[in-house]
Structure 1
Amino acid sequence: MKTHNIYVGILLTGFLFLNSCSKDFLEITPKGTSLEANYYKNEAEAFNGLVAAYDPLGAEVVVDYADKVGLLNTASDDCYAGGGAYGDRLTWEAWNTFTVDPIVGPQADFWGRNFTGINRVNTLLPKIDAVPDMTASKKARFTAECKFLRAYYYFDLVRLFKNVPLFTQLVPPANLFSVTQAKPEETYAQIEKDLNEAIPDLPEVVPTEENGRVTKMAAVALLGKVILFQNDESRMKEAADLFEQVNTSPNYELLPNFGDIFRPDNKFNKESIFEIVHTSLAVGYWGPWPPAGEGNIFTQMCGPRAYVGPTYVAGWGFNPINMDLVNLLKADPRYRYTCANIDSLTKATPGASYQPGYQNTGYFIQKFAPLKEFQATGAGDPVLMYPNDYIEIRLADTYLMEAEALVRANADLGKAQSYLDNVRARVGLASVPATLDNIYKERRLELATEGHRFFDLVRTGKAATALAFKGFTAGKNEILPIPYTELTNTKLVQNPNY
């Protein structure tokens, strides 16, 4: 199994994507290639290994441009693939039209990102206890972070592919070709096991210089989400109880202004539970593929092409917003923080213009838009250096997930109503009944273009209807094919109908 050679026992530590505004976290010295057997001799080396395990969270390029949010938007009814012309990025367009096959599509990017992370976790985990200059509490924390990360990577894999190999330790290269896929139930059980073991040893909060590292409530929230997404109605109260721990924590609150959630100058705000970090402080430049840097390339990708005018920087025209979503949001206060109406802006501004790209609607993603005020200056190519973070889990999301779980459990419906009301009241909207349909609609409006919609459609059984206009086929397109290269001379089996 090729898997980008990730199980050959060599750790590639690098200048990676776990960052904050802390100089210490940004200046992890690259170690190049170091034989795994000779590494992890002290705490600094163990920390480098931990940083390496976090690294794939923010990977913007794997095989192709591979931003997780952008690709998931592409597969949803929130956005189209876009770009300059048809086929600008074939991997994106294939998922946009559900013409993915084992060779063409984003599957190699998702497979490579997540199994790279899993390999790095499995490389570090058995070494932690033997590191001589670490305290017991620090060893426990590093171990917990590793288990959270392995759970996170496998949660993506099981939702994207369903049938994947389950690795909890390194596999000798000679044995890789005989590895088989685990049942989804086995993968989910391991995800839950890792999270349950991680939670006790994670901190409630981290100091500013450690922003980006996992906290206890991030793991609790992810565990609740893992249970919710398995659709076992007998466990909905269990999921709700986990979300309640997060939602009643004094460390989190809804921000008064919805638009402030996403600003790069407001990172790790009170609404953020688990945040994936990008920075403009590391120089980004083009060279051997993939390009260097730690910025959010998706921010460049989703900007309007050849734009000239106020506020925004020219981008590449990806993920234009579907008019169905635009029309749903137009009467909603979240509209202006979600949709950038570039068509109207350029028409109303003398001298302003942009180049409509493929599948252009005139509306672009505001939450991650390339704004002039955050464009990098100085060394490097600014298109590779946008500092926009991605909040993977935020409080409004956990409010709505708890409301959903309570309704599905037929438990505390008053509390479900309260959480739905809180999300709407934050933007000045009146109460609506806490039905599943209203909760799902609120998720779409609140979390629009943040990469949640495709998975929500699949898990609720609504994908075939909502995505019919894109060519979605039920019983096939809920998951991706196993990458073709992973099937060569291995015992892996292709997913149905591919």
Structure 2
Amino acid sequence: MMIFNKMKKIILLFFLAMWIISCSDDFLDVTDPNNLTPDTFWKTEQDAIKAITGTYALFQYQVWSGRWGFYEIRYMNFECRSDLINLYDMWSPFGDMSRYNASSTSYSLNDFWSFSYQALYAANQVIENVPGMGLNNGSVFVAEAKFLRAYAHYLLVTNFGNIVLRTSTPKTSEDFYLGQSPQEEVWTQIENDLVEAKASLPLSWESQWLGRATKGAASALLAKTYLWQNKWGQAEGELREIVNSGIYSLVDDYESLFNGLNEHNSESIFELNFTMNNDGGRNERNSFPAMQTDWKMSTPNEYMRNLYLNDKTDAGELSKRVTGSLIYSDLENDDLSAISWKKFSLHDDATNNGFDFSNSGTNFTVIRYADVLLMLAEALNEQGNTSEAENFVNQVRARAVVPNISGMNQEQLREHIRHVERPLELAAEADRFYDLVRWYKNGDLSSVLVAHGREAGETFDNSNDLYYPIPSSETTSNPLVVQNPGY
């Protein structure tokens, strides 16, 4: 992992230079100071390693001075739309996002869009150039790039809805100006990339390469892709493959999943590496600093607190999920503003005076095994296999040391998975709002938000608010890109 981390800053700058060079004929007149060009670069295995590492880096690091990192943007801005949190001191544009009133001029949305398309460009470079290098393991690099291309498209389509599909690097000026593709076409491309990636990805990596994509990561993201489209049987197939592989298991110490002391553990399926003391290594600690008064931006809301208060062992003690997720003195009687998220906060700095706003060495786990078990339970239940689905929910509950569930019908288990188990297990891990959208995109999400205490949900409109506006910088520069409804 250390080798993988150390390369990223230099490689990311290099990759941006490569991007500039590729555009120079028609748009820019620049010379790369290191004399690196596409014609001289794609020669050795080290070149391929640099290229794929630079692609991963675009999901991890900030590039432009004064901007927050890609995952900072996703986690803070996009989790704030969920039904599980209270928001404090949310300045514009973050407050606008939390009230479902985002602006197309938001620098955060512009950065998110820009990072995603830079990642797509980098991935396409690998896919197009590595096959001609004659490397023995070239198919693995291409598979990683296809996984990352799928992941970038996944983030774009789930946040913006109507996006430009990018499956090749621009060759002419016309290639830079593409219109949006139907969502069905985007989902199909994501599926195809993940199926092809899984075929060549390894089951695991040696320690120095931890953080690179695996077969399990491809299957898990493919399952999420299927769930978004209600393809329950196909999702079940991918998720069973992960479970039956025997590679992954639940970690006994729930808190260790988030405190940076047990990274790349048996529960981690895809994890983004962050390192301390680099210019871009920020992560979610900036968003939910534990016990930080001046910059505290969110706490669990009353709905979430009640879920936690009822998540108890047979002995009446609060579960591992509660003690591993929150910092509190008296959960039942504390003012909500006095309760803080513990997830992704380093304990040495979890004080009012010890908050480091610049960076954190705590990795971000994108997909973990508990999520896989709950997704499998959902897929089974939607197909009518409710009893078996309960068994997978109970595996997650057993780790929390809370009683099993049993005897539910399909609708009861559906509600339990959606509004009890997934919130308790996965709160503040950047998935909640996306879950709500995939469940209620054709229904009434506003009622769910209001029922769970989000006053802003009263004005939520499924026709306008499921997705963010396309950044104005994109609609201005590309006449073929049409703004989303309502913006």
Q: TM-score, normalised by structure 2?
A: 0.83
Question: Who is 1:494 aligned against?
Answer: 483
CA shift digits 1:59-90 (9 cap, x unpaired): 457684351222222111222443xx452xx2
How many residues are paired up? 433
| RMSD (CA atoms) | 2.6
- Cα 1:341–1:29 change in 2 (3 A) is closer
Matched, 1:250 2:233: no
Aligned mates of 1:438, 1:120 — CA distance in 2: 41
**2:262: which partner in 1?**
266
Q: Does 1:49 align with 2:38?
A: no
Matched residue, 2:119: 117
Secondary structure at the counterpart of residue 251 of structure 2 = coil
Are the equivalent residues in 2 in contact too, given 1:464–1:473 (CA < 8 A)? yes
Pair 251,170 (structure 1): closer, same or farther in 2 beyond 3 Å? same
Instruction: Give the alignment partner of residue 388 of structure 2, picking from 402, 415, 431.
Output: 415
Q: Distance in 2 between matches of 1:27 and 1:155?
A: 26
The structural deviation recorded for 1:241 is 1.4
1:167 to partner: Cα distance: 1.1
1:272–1:394 CA contact under 8 A, matched in 2: yes
Alignment-mate amino acid for residue 454 of structure 1: F
Deviation at 1:382, TM superposition (A): 5.1
> Is residue 62–residue 280 contact of structure 2 (8 Å, CA) maintained in 1?
no
Q: Which moved more, 1:388-397 or 1:330-339?
A: 330-339
- Helix, strand or coil: the match of 1:274? strand
- 2:346 aligned to 370, 378, 382, which one? 370
Q: CA deviation at 1:338?
A: 1.3
Q: What is the match of residue 16 of structure 1?
A: none
User: Which of 310, 315, 319 matches 1:331?
Assistant: 310
**Structure 2: runs of 5 or more not aligned:** 18-35, 312-318
Report the Cα distance in structure 2 between the residues aligned to 1:129 and 1:108, rounded to whole angstroms: 33
Write the mapping of 1:396-435 to structure 2, written as runs, cut at 5 A.
Answer: 396-410=370-384, 412-433=385-406, 435=413
**CA–CA distance in structure 1, aligned partners of residues 369 and 109 of structure 2:** 30
Q: Could you say which structure has the higher helix fraction?
A: 2
Q: Is the 8 A contact 2:290 2:340 kept in 1?
A: yes
Shift of 1:293: 3.3
Question: For residues 127 and 426 of structure 1, do their structure 2 counterparts lie closer, same or farther at Cα, with a shift above 3 Å needed?
Answer: same
Equivalent residue for 2:369?
395
Q: Distance in 2 between matches of 1:278 and 1:299?
A: 11
Q: In 2, Cα distance between the equivalents of 1:126 and 1:454?
A: 35
Counting only pairs closer than 5 Å after superposition, residues 439-450 of structure 1 correspond to structure 2 as 439-440=417-418, 441-450=420-429
Output the CA distance in 2 between the equivalents of 1:386 and 1:105: 22
State the alpha-carbon separation in 2 of the partners of residues 53 and 24 from structure 1. Answer: 12
Give the Cα–Cα distance (whole angstroms) in 1 for the partners of residues 37 and 87 of structure 2: 41
Shift of residue 306, structure 1, vs aligned partner: 5.7
SS in structure 2 of the partner of residue 392 of structure 1: strand
Q: How many angstroms does 1:35 deviate by?
A: 2.9
Change (3 A) 1:113 1:78: farther
Q: Which residue of 2 aligns with 1:76?
A: 82
Q: Counterparts of 2:38 and 2:330 in 1: how far apart (Å)?
A: 53
- Superposition deviation, residue 467 in structure 1: 2.7
Counterpart of 2:404 in 1: which secondary structure?
A: coil
**Paired residue for 1:385, among 359, 364, 381?**
359
Which position in structure 1 is the counterpart of 2:437? 458
Whichever residue aligns with residue 360 of structure 2, its letter is: Y
Shift of 1:208: 1.1
User: Residues 381-417 of structure 1, C-alpha deviation per residue, up to 9 Å, x if partnerless?
Assistant: 954331111111111101110111111112x333211
Go from structure 1 to structure 2 and tell me whether the alpha carbon gap of 1:388 and 1:463 turns closer, same or farther (over 3 Å shift): farther
Q: Aligned runs of 1:8-47 on 2, under 5 Å?
A: 20=1, 22-23=2-3, 25-27=5-7, 30=10, 32=14, 33=17, 34-47=36-49
Shift in CA distance, 105/94, structure 1 to aligned 2, threshold 3 Å? farther
C-alpha displacement at 1:28, in angstroms? 5.3
Amino acid across the alignment from 1:253: S
Q: Could you say if the C-alpha distance between residues 241 and 306 of structure 1 is closer, same or farther in structure 2, counting changes exceeding 3 Å?
A: closer
Q: Which amino acid aligns with 2:80?
A: T
Q: TM-score, normalised by structure 1?
A: 0.81
Deviations along 1:310-355, whole A, 9 cap, x unmatched?
A: xxxxx721233323212221232111211222798xx9xxxxxxxx
User: For residues 325-364 of structure 1, what are the structure 2 equivalents within 5 Å?
Assistant: 325-332=304-311, 333=319, 334-341=321-328, 361-364=337-340
Q: 1:364 to 1:50 in 2, by over 3 A?
A: same
Aligned partners of 1:326 and 1:339 also within 8 Å:
no
Give, in whole Å, the separation in 2 of the partners of 1:79 and 1:273.
26
CA 1:257–1:203 in 2, change beyond 3 Å: closer, same or farther? same
Do the aligned partners of 2:328 and 2:338 also contact (CA within 8 Å) in 1? yes
Match of 1:318 in 2: 297
Q: Aligned AA for 1:124?
A: V
- 2:415 aligned residue: 437
Q: Does 1:163 align with 2:143?
A: no
Q: Which residue of 1 aligns with 2:32?
A: none
- Does the residue aligned with 1:336 lie in a helix, a strand or coil? helix
Change beyond 3 A, Cα 1:35–1:466: farther
Amino acid at match of 2:381: V
